[in-house]
């Protein structure tokens, strides 16, 4: 008899899990997927591209209802699981439905963070998380409104870029002295800021937002340095936190996220968590790549196969303003680490490699990221790159010969990524 599998959430991790199970074990589970959003799961990574009209609405859809039907999977969209019982193994939905299961997977994603400042709940303040957010931003942009984007991370930059592309007058406000401080070093961040400037985004650094101004509707921001900014709309893109509310209520062990082991198992047998809601090894990943890896690992676990997620060197990809940016691993350096940099001012190319002894520990690439995944592979595999150390900064073409066999990479990995 088939086991009943409930997947709570229909985001990217959920879709990847289903896809994998369909591929490797089509007959093993009776699967139900419950998604709170009205649409079937879509590619959240492409929301900024959608806003910028670099992709169309269809492009962001991952799998539609028909696909689920064709694989005999029950997909419930626009309804949320409100409780889950760890003892009796059933879940209740907001609509009242009850679903029993043998195995349950939490793939509940994350919540966008709103700054705990006065006025953040006013109309005119939105976050950047889902398709309705994109629609709201589109409206503001088309009306050529003034938009303040708070948050100079990946998400905020993508929002600012997309809004500017669509005609809004955008100011990007960041509390730190450089953009993407968690993914980029100062020279790379400066290049990104310059590129945003070229696209019409005003970048304000070292601006701590104190409050959203306006009575009934947001009219701007007030800053700690006494200055202020007028805006018709405020986009708060300061980060996310794992959505572990349901799991916590169900009694699962939760820290920042739902605590899982290498098998993506929670502290209750038959209960699993993957993606942004999960916390593995103390890390709650906010990126799609580890979410996919977790989904695939879990699929194999459910199959009874060996499959584990043991953590992942993070890599960030940013493609805005025609300026590709990539960073991975330890790109800051530190004690005992050595950095090599390359900068070409004419093309805006910047490259930094961080070495830890004979290994490549991290990198930042700006402007030219064609070799990004090759570098990432070297970092993740932790191989000895000393034979090609002096060539490595110049890219794969120059270093591969000196690196020999070990530098050729695993084609599967590169293609998949």
Partner 1 sequence: MNVRPASGVVRTTCPYCGVGCGVEAIPDAAGGVTMRGDASHPANFGKLCVKGSALGETLGLDGRLLHPMIHGQRATWNQAIGFVAEGLSKVIAQHGPNAVAFYLSGQLLTEDYYIANKFAKGFLGTPHVDTNSRLCMASSVAGHRRAFGSDTVPQTYVDLDEADLIILVGSNAAWCHPVLYQRMQIAREKRGTQVINIDPRRTATSEGSDLHLSVKSGMDSVLFSWLLVQLEARGATDRTYVKRYTTGFDTALASASAIAPDLETVASRTGLDAGDITGFVDLFIASDRVVTCYSQGVNQSAQGSDKVNAILNCHLATGRIGRPGSGPLSLTGQPNAMGGREVGGLANMLAAHMGYSPPEVDRVRRFWDAPNIAQNEGLKAVQMFEAIERGEIKALWVMHTNPAVTLPRADAMRAAMKKLDLFVVSEAITNTDTTLSGAHVLLPAAVWGEKDGTVTNSERRISRQRSFLQPPGEARPDWEHITLVARRMGYAEGFNYTNVAAIYREHAALSACENNGSRDFDIGATADISDAGYDEMEPFLWPWRKGEAPQERFFADGRFYTPDRRARLLALADPVLAAPVDARFPFLLNTGRVRDHWHTMTRTGKAIRLARHVAEPMLAMNAGDATGLGVVEGNFVRIDSAHGAATLRVTLDDGLPQGSVFAPFHWNDASSGLARVDAVAQAVTDPVSGQPEMKATPVKLTPISMASEGFLVSRQRIILPDWLQHTRITIPGGEALLFASTRSPEAIHGLLINHLGEAWQRAEVSDPFAGDFRTLAFSGERLSAALFVQTSRDPVALDWLIESLGKEALSPTERKTVVAGMTPASNVDQGPLICSCFAVRRVTIATAVHEGAATVEAIGDILKAGTNCGSCRPEIKRVISDELASAPVLLVA
Segment 6-25, which members bind partner 1 (CB under 8 A)?
Answer: none
Please name which of 191, 216, 214, 215 lies closest in space to residue 203, comparing C-alpha atoms.
191
Output 77 or 349, the one with its CB closest to partner 1: 349
Cβ proximity to partner 1: between 129 and 352 the closer is 352
Stretch of 18-26, 38-46, 129-137, 335-343 lying at the interface with partner 1 (CB under 8 A): 335-343
224 makes contact with partner 1 (CB under 8 A) = no
Alpha helices in 6-100 (DSSP H): 12-24, 47-51, 57-60, 65-70
* 332 makes contact with partner 1 (CB under 8 A): no
Q: Kindly give, in sequence order, each residue whose CB lies less than 8 Å from that of residue 23, ignoring residues fewer than 6 positions away.
A: none
Q: What does residue 238 show for φ and ψ, rounded to 5 degrees?
A: -100, 0
Interface pattern 117-156 for partner 1 (x via CB under 8 A) = ----------------------------------------
Query: What does the block give as tokens for 64?
Result: 């539609």
**Cα distance between residue 329 and residue 375, in whole Å:** 10
Tell me: does residue 408 bind partner 1 (CB under 8 A).
no
Q: Which is nearer to partner 1, 92 or 330 (CB)?
A: 330
Sole window of 97-105, 177-185, 222-230, 394-402 interacting with partner 1 (rule: CB under 8 A):
394-402
Task: Please answer whether residues 173 and 314 qualify as being in contact, where contact means their C-beta atoms are separated by less than 8 angstroms.
Answer: no
| 343 touching partner 1, by CB under 8 A | yes
- Is the CB of residue 154 less than 8 Å from the CB of residue 247? no
- Our measurement of the distance from residue 288's CA atom to the centroid of its chain's CA atoms, rounded to an integer in Å, reads 5
* Nearer to partner 1 among residue 287 and residue 393 (C-beta): 393
Phi, psi dihedrals of residue 64, rounded to the nearest 5°: -90, 175
| CB count in 10 Å sphere of residue 375 | 28
Using CB under 8 A, pick the residue from 97, 121, 245, 397 that binds partner 1.
397
Q: Residue 55: CB partners within 8 Å, gap ≥ 6?
A: 46, 49
Among 135, 143, 401, 416, binds partner 1 (CB under 8 A): 401
Rounded to an integer, what distance in angstroms lies between the CA atom of residue 181 and that of residue 382? Answer: 24
Cα–Cα dist 231/221, whole Å: 7
Binding part of the chain for partner 1, among 209-217, 261-269, 388-396, 409-417 by CB under 8 A, reads 388-396
Please pick, from the candidates 67, 342, 380, 387, the single residue that binds partner 1 as defined by CB under 8 A. 342
Query: What is residue 276's DSSP assignment?
Result: G
| Chosen residue from 345, 405, 411, 415 binding partner 1 by CB under 8 A | 345
CB of 263 closer than 8 Å to CB of 301: yes
> What is the SS3 assignment for 140-181?
HHHCCCEEEEECCCHHHHHHHHHHHHCCCEEEEECCCCCCCC
Rg (alpha carbons) of the chain, rounded to whole number: 22
CA atoms within 13 A on the CB side of 352: 22
**CB of 372 vs partner 1, minimal distance in Å:** 16
Q: Given candidates 389, 403, 407, 409, which one binds partner 1 under the rule CB under 8 A?
A: 389
* Residue with Cβ nearer partner 1 (54 or 356): 356
Q: Give the Cβ contact number of residue 411 at 10 Å.
A: 8
**By the rule CB under 8 A, 393 interacts with partner 1:** yes
215 binds partner 1, rule: CB under 8 A: no
Is residue 338 near partner 1 by the rule CB under 8 A?
yes
355 belongs to the binding site for partner 1 (CB under 8 A): yes
Looking at the Cβ atoms of 113 and 393, the one nearer to partner 1 is 393
Judged by CB under 8 A, the residue of 93, 340, 356, 383 near partner 1 is 340
Closer CB to partner 1, 42 or 350, in the complex:
350
Q: Which is nearer to partner 1, 187 or 270 (CB)?
A: 187
Among the residue ranges 23-31, 50-58, 275-283, 341-349, the one whose residues contact partner 1 (CB under 8 A)? 341-349
Query: Distance between alpha carbon 130 and the CA centroid of its chain, in Å?
Result: 13
Nearer to partner 1, 292 or 355 (CB): 355
Exactly one of 390, 408, 414, 416 binds partner 1 (CB under 8 A); that residue is 390
**Residues at the interface with partner 1 (CB under 8 A):** 338-347, 349, 355, 389-391, 393-395, 397-398, 400-402
């Amino acid at each position: 008899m088939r086991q009943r599998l409930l997947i709570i959430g229909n985001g990217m991790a959920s879709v990847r899990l289903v896809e994998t199970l369909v591929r490797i074990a089509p007959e093993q589970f009776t699967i139900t997927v419950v998604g709170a959003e009205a649409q079937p799961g879509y590619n959240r990574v492409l929301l900024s591209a959608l806003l910028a009209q670099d992709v169309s609405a269809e492009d962001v859809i991952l799998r539609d209802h028909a696909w689920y039907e064709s694989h005999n999977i029950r997909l419930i969209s626009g309804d949320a699981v409100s409780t889950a019982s760890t003892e009796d193994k059933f879940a209740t939905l907001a609509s009242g439905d009850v679903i029993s299961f043998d195995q349950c997977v939490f793939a509940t994603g994350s919540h966008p963070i709103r700054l705990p400042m006065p006025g953040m709940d006013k109309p005119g303040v939105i976050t950047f998380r889902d398709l309705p957010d994109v629609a709201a931003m589109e409206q503001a942009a088309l009306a050529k409104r003034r938009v303040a984007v708070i948050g100079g991370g990946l998400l905020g930059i993508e929002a600012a870029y997309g809004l500017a592309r669509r005609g809004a007058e955008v100011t990007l406000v960041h509390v730190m002295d450089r953009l993407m401080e968690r993914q980029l070093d100062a020279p790379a961040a400066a290049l990104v800021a310059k590129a945003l400037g070229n696209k019409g985004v005003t970048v304000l650094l070292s601006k701590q937002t104190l409050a959203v101004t306006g009575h009934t509707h947001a009219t701007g921001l007030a800053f700690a340095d006494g200055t202020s900014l007028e805006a018709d709309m405020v986009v708060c893109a300061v980060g996310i936190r794992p959505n572990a509310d349901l799991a916590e209520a169900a009694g699962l062990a939760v820290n920042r996220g739902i605590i899982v082991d290498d098998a993506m198992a929670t502290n209750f047998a038959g209960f699993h968590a993957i993606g942004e809601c999960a916390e593995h090894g103390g890390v709650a990943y906010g990126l799609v790549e580890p979410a996919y890896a977790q989904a695939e690992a879990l699929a194999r676990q459910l199959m009874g196969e060996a499959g584990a997620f043991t953590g992942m060197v993070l890599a960030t990809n940013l493609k805005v303003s025609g300026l590709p940016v990539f960073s991975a691993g330890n790109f800051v350096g530190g004690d005992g680490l050595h950095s090599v940099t390359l900068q070409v001012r004419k093309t805006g190319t910047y490259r930094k490699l961080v070495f830890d002894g004979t290994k490549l520990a991290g990198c930042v690439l700006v402007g030219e990221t064609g070799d990004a995944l090759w570098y990432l592979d070297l970092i993740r595999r932790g191989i000895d790159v000393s034979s090609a150390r002096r060539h490595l900064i110049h890219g794969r073409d120059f270093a591969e010969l000196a690196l020999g066999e070990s530098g050729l990479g695993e084609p599967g990995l590169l293609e998949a990524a």
